[in-house]
Amino acid sequence: MEIYLPIAEQSMNVFVLLGLGAAAGLLAGMFGVGGGFLATPLLIFVGIPPTVAVASQANQVIANSISSLQVQWRRGNVDLRMGLILLLGGMLGSTAGVSLFTYLKRIGQIDFVIAVLYVLMLSTIGLLMLFESLRTYLRRRRNPEGPRGKLHTHYLVHRLPLKLRFYKSKLYISALLPLGIGFGIGVLSAILGVGGGFVLVPAMIYILGMPTSVVIGTSNFQILFVAANVTFLQAATNGTVDVVLALLLILGGVVGAPVGSRLAARLSGVVLRGLMALLILAVATELLTDLLRTPGSLYSLAPRDMAP
Amino acid sequence: MWLAAIAGLAALLWTSAMAQGPPRIEPPAGALVGPTLGGSIDPVPPSVPSEAVAPDLVVDLSVPRVSITSAFQGESILLFGMFDPPGEIVVVVVGPPFRETVLRKQRVLGLWLNIGRQSFDDVPAYYAIAASQPLQRLLARSAGGEILSLEDRLSSVRAIGERPADELAQFRNGLVQVKRQEGLYPAAIGQVTIQAGRLFRVELPFPSTLPEGVYEIRTYLLRDGKIAAAVSRPLPVGKVGFSAELAGWASREGSLYGLGAIAMALVVGWIGGALVRRL
């Protein structure tokens, strides 16, 4: 069954879009990521113009986040204070990011920036997570009763001023840290059209040292607002949000998200992190191959609205 | 006898065209008939004209416009008409002109990146040709200066900025490549079928990626490789109904549209999440 997407200006199979949405929703529920980092490249692959894919995906992330957040909130897995500070940084970051996106689009280098940023971020994060989870997993198998070590290690970043207590996360750290992380993720989120969860989740685990149980809910809380901000700014400045496309992705995601939450509850933290690492690496490899392989066609057209 | 029949058909087409479409999209009377008779038909002709009116070429379309609805998957339009034999028919469909920017990938440090860019003005959004005979044979001799083939048409697009001619040609070829992949410059030449030596018809398939605007469908009657008559019909292509409202809303009031999109996502995500969990 085909449906015409009014902003993407082409017709597309409804079930392909529902399936894509379901996959993104599953990831949102399972790992606390928006799922955009997987769905955006896939949307581009099936022929949606990259600018529309990025903006409409941000719209879907809103729905995925609120859907997962319903569950997480009830379980008390949201650190509101941490979430609000991350959010403040995220708002500033995504506003800066949309201006950057508009600028890059004008000079025609948006494809390059998107591709290179994706590959760099995904491969770095994927590798780090994979090694960490493998090491933890092996250590636990060898020595299941052994010392767990400190709850989290102390780095230079912990000497920053403006220290605050985060009770749910059991942390006493500088507010500047989550603020900065939030800002970086906001910029990414605007340019890549992803909620930024795949960077935020590892950052919360490894940099902030938050307990894994609180991470998914808090990440979803922050992503919800950042994605809403990106959707608004993309619609207002670039006019690239396709609500028909977004609605189909959302309907798929609504089915996927709770399934993911349930799966996540059954798996241990370390297995969950390992799986996420593998997934991130697979996407990075695919994107890198794309950049390295001799393209079928050397030519492409810039989006029409770029031309004055 | 034939002349009267043709004139009658012309009158019929004209009146039916007047009856169905809004006046702004209709061509002037002169455009409906061949240049040999330009402008000689009355706006409201009698069913049998007092003078023998004999256009060499009469053309009509199965629909007055292409409507892009939510169910639009591309559309096939029938163009049909009648001509005075002998001759061959060539139909050219030209989309509205746009400025296009062609990007070219180059290898930099092992990565394929968009490095080169070249803009062209007056690039037709769509270009398709149909003919009753292989085109090369029809155009063996000069077609009287009228542009017909895609190559000829594109040689007239204006490049923006300075660049050596051979590089410009590469970018132009790249443009055709991309448009071909999108189905907007079909490589295959459509088949115009001729019946009874004077009736012709051709199916014009349009893809779902069709850009909006007023298209022009030009029909040529060729005799000995020369254009004996030409008829031009405009074909408006536009979104209608829900698609049109959404697209209009998105471009006119982006901020409001953005808020609507957010509200939609929140409501559907919340209700959907609650419903699915209950199952």
The C-alpha of A282 sits at a distance from chain B's nearest C-alpha, in angstroms, of: 19
SS (H, E, C) chain A: CEEEECCCCEEEEHHHHHHHHHHHHHHHHHHCCCCHHHHHHHHHHCCCCHHHHHHHHHHHHHHHHHHHHHHHHHCCCCCHHHHHHHHHHHHHHHHHHHHHHHHHHHHCCHHHHHHHHHHHHHHHHHHHHHHHHHHHHHHHHHCCCCCCCCCCCCCHHHHCCCEEEECCCCEEEECHHHHHHHHHHHHHHHHHCCCCHHHHHHHHHHHHCCCHHHHHHHHHHHHHHHHHHHHHHHHHHHCCCCHHHHHHHHHHHHHHHHHHHHHHHHCCHHHHHHHHHHHHHHHHHHHHHHHHCCCCCCEEECCHHHCC
pLDDT given at position B262: 94
Per the structure, how many domains does chain B have? Answer: 3
Residue A186 contacts residue A94 (beta carbons within 8 Å):
yes
Statement: residue A70 has pLDDT above 60: yes
pLDDT given at position B101: 86
The C-alpha of A6 sits at a distance from chain B's nearest C-alpha, in angstroms, of: 5
The C-alpha of B67 sits at a distance from chain A's nearest C-alpha, in angstroms, of: 12
Co-location of B12 and B138 in the same domain: no
Query: Residue A268's pLDDT band (boundaries 50, 70, 90)?
Result: confident
Q: Alpha carbon B183 to chain centroid distance?
A: 13
Co-location of B201 and B255 in the same domain: no
pLDDT given at position A110: 67
**B169 lies within 8 A of chain A by CB:** no
Co-location of B170 and B180 in the same domain: yes
Statement: residue A26 has pLDDT above 70: yes
Co-location of B50 and B119 in the same domain: no
pLDDT given at position A308: 32
A2 to B265: CB separation less than 8 angstroms, yes or no: no
The C-alpha of A11 sits at a distance from chain B's nearest C-alpha, in angstroms, of: 6
Co-location of B224 and B93 in the same domain: yes
Interface test with B, best of A4, A54, A233 (most B CBs within 10 A): A4
Q: Looking at residues A69-73, what average pLDDT do you find?
A: 83
The C-alpha of B179 sits at a distance from chain A's nearest C-alpha, in angstroms, of: 9
Average pLDDT, chain A: 80
pLDDT given at position A188: 79
Phi and psi at B235, nearest 5°, equal -135, 100
Co-location of B160 and B278 in the same domain: no
For the segment A207-248, what is each residue's pLDDT rounded down to a tens digit?
Answer: 888 887 788 888 888 888 878 888 898 888 888 899 999 999
The C-alpha of A70 sits at a distance from chain B's nearest C-alpha, in angstroms, of: 8
A32-41, A118-127, A274-283, B94-103: which has the minimum mean pLDDT? A32-41
For the segment A83-97, what is each residue's pLDDT rounded down to a tens digit?
Answer: 899 889 988 987 888
pLDDT given at position A307: 36
Statement: residue A82 has pLDDT above 80: yes
- Nearest-CB residue to B243 (from A4, A71, A246): A4
B residues 39-98 near A, CB within 8 Å?
Answer: 68-74, 98
Co-location of B149 and B193 in the same domain: yes
A233 to B258: CB separation less than 8 angstroms, yes or no: yes
pLDDT given at position A242: 93
A67 to B255: CB separation less than 8 angstroms, yes or no: no
Percent of chain A with pLDDT over 90: 7
A258 to B174: CB separation less than 8 angstroms, yes or no: no
- Nearest-CB residue to B276 (from A254, A298, A304): A254
Query: Residue A34's pLDDT band (boundaries 50, 70, 90)?
Result: low
A6 to B250: CB separation less than 8 angstroms, yes or no: yes
pLDDT given at position B22: 44
* Nearest residue to B78 via CA among B192, B204, B215: B204
Co-location of B61 and B45 in the same domain: no
B102 to A7: CB separation less than 8 angstroms, yes or no: no
B112 to A294: CB separation less than 8 angstroms, yes or no: yes
pLDDT given at position A148: 52
Interface test with B, best of A290, A298, A305 (most B CBs within 10 A): A298
Tokens 């082409």 locate to A10
Taking CB atoms and an 8 Å cutoff, what residues of chain B touch A228? 262, 265-266
Co-location of B119 and B169 in the same domain: yes
- Provide the domain limits for residue B85: 56-238
**B199 lies within 8 A of chain A by CB:** no
pLDDT given at position A244: 93
pLDDT given at position A186: 82
**B249 lies within 8 A of chain A by CB:** no
Cα-based angle A7, A21, A231 (whole degrees, multiple of 5): 45
Low-confidence ranges of chain B (pLDDT < 70): 1-54, 136-148, 279
Percent of chain A with pLDDT over 70: 87
